[in-house]
Amino acid sequence: MAFTATVSGRRVACGPDQSVLDAFLRAGAWMPNSCNQGTCGTCKVRVLSGEVDHRDSPLGTLTEDERAAGLALACQARLRSDAEVAPSGPGGGSAGRRTHPLRDLDAVVVDIEDMARDTRRVRLDLAEPLAFHAGQYVELTVPGSGARRQYSLANVADDDQVLELHVRLVPGGAATERWIFDGLAVGDRVRAAGPLGDFFLDPEDDDGGEPMVLIGGGTGLAPLLGVVRTALARRPGREILLYHGVRGAADLYDLDLLTRLSETHPNVNVVPVLSHESPPDGTFYRTGLPTDLFLDDVGSARGWSGWLCGPPGMVEAGVRAFKRRRMAPRLIHRETFTPAH
């Protein structure tokens, strides 16, 4: 039986096995969200009336005390009655606003390219263009197991017909080693859903044009490419500092694109960073961790915005580094890779 969920006066129908978050996003009503897997806490809501089933909400993200106090994770909770909820986090003020609806995607693989060591670019052609914000992600369903895996879009929003995903091989991974790197072929149909996530720029009218620092670990570069190109299309003179952190030179990719960006925009500084190798002679690469290099390079990031996408350790180190350089927490944006792939 379907119930209704209400946020900020916006009421949507919610199916019996549908999460509250899914119901809002599919109706085109914004609800803060990031991981969609119960691990980040971004979608935490206060249940003002009605009853929810917490389903698979992990205790590490939603404690017993929080449940007793009426909190729930919208990405996990199912309704047991009509309910009204209010987001409890900092981005809650925008809940219920119109957004690009989440939907199932009919996609066909049109290109697979090995672009760096153990790294593939996969392009998916859509039957219908997808409305999204640059920096958001889509979820692919792994054939057979039905498991879902999340991949950020490297596209800008106008580039809405052929989605570009960057995929890193994870040894033993059901989605990567046993599918995308072994078996997936041009012409295959792929089940997907999107857009998801909150890793995107504010609407143009609210975009202050502040300097930006972006740090991507490995394929964490993907959403940064969409965010940077969108930011530059709005304000070509904006100051941008982009670090791409990888283990060795063989892991770098899209250097042509990044070099072109910095050649056409003197205000864009791109820094490839190798953590496990010295830079080859004649390159401008640097050695170390991008978060440490940021601390060396920037004395104060007050008034800047920060963008982090990569493994949990890198994202946590980035948040600490940004705060040490006086960046306001509300200007720190993060997208953390889900560990199991």
Position 239: which residue type? E
CB closer to ligand FES out of 41 and 195: 41
63 or 278: whose CB is closer to ligand FES?
63
For helices 255-264 and 221-234, the axis angle rounded to 10 degrees is 20
**C-beta of 24 vs 253, nearer to ligand FES:** 24
Q: Which is nearer to ligand FES, 91 or 279 (CB)?
A: 91
User: Position 45: which residue type?
Assistant: V
Q: Would you count residue 94 as binding ligand FES (CB under 6 A)? A: no
Pattern 19-48, ligand FES, x by CB under 6 A = --------------xxxx-xxxxxx-----
- Listed in sequence order, the residues at least 6 apart from 260 whose beta carbon sits closer than 8 Å to its beta carbon are none
Examine residue 230 and tell whether it contacts ligand FES (CB under 6 A). no
Q: Binding to ligand FES by residue 223, rule CB under 6 A?
A: no
In degrees and rounded to multiples of 5, residue 180 shows phi and psi of -65, -35
Question: φ and ψ at 42, to 5 degrees?
Answer: -60, -30
Query: Which residue number, 36 or 230, has a Cβ lying nearer to ligand FES?
Result: 36
State the nearest-atom distance from the C-beta of 38 to ligand FES, in Å: 5
Kindly provide the b/e burial profile for residues 229-248, where b requires at least 16 CB atoms within 10 angstroms of the residue's own CB. Answer: bbbbeeeeebebbbbbbbee
**Shortest Cβ distance from residue 228 to ligand FES (Å)?**
24
73 binds ligand FES (CB under 6 A): yes
Nearer to ligand FES, 44 or 123 (CB): 44
Instruction: Kindly tell me which residue out of 75, 222, 274, 293 binds ligand FES, with binding defined by CB under 6 A.
Output: 75
Residues 6 or more apart from 330 whose CB is under 8 A from it?
90
For tokens 């994870």, the residue is: 170
Given the complex with ligand FES, which of 137 and 294 has the nearer CB atom? 137
CA distance 234 to 269: 18
> What Cα–Cα distance (Å) separates residue 303 from each residue in 127, 226, 296, 300?
41, 22, 18, 9
Cβ proximity to ligand FES: between 12 and 40 the closer is 40
Partners of 137 in beta bridges: 152, 196
Cis peptide before 223 (omega within 30 of 0): no
Q: Which of residues 145-174 bind ligand FES (CB under 6 A)?
A: none
Shortest distance (Å) from residue 40 CB to ligand FES: 3
Report the nearest approach of ligand FES to the CB of residue 77 (Å). Answer: 9
Rounded-to-integer distance, Cα 23 and Cα 11, Å: 10
User: What part of residues 48-67 is at the interface with ligand FES (CB under 6 A)?
Assistant: 61
Applying CB under 6 A, the site for ligand FES has a residue count of 13
**Residue number of the CB atom closest to ligand FES:** 75
Shortest Cβ 209–ligand FES spacing (Å): 29
What is the DSSP-derived secondary structure letter of residue 33? -
Distance in angstroms (rounded) separating the CA atoms of residues 51 and 28: 23
Q: State the residues that interact with ligand FES by CB under 6 A.
A: 33-36, 38-43, 61, 73, 75
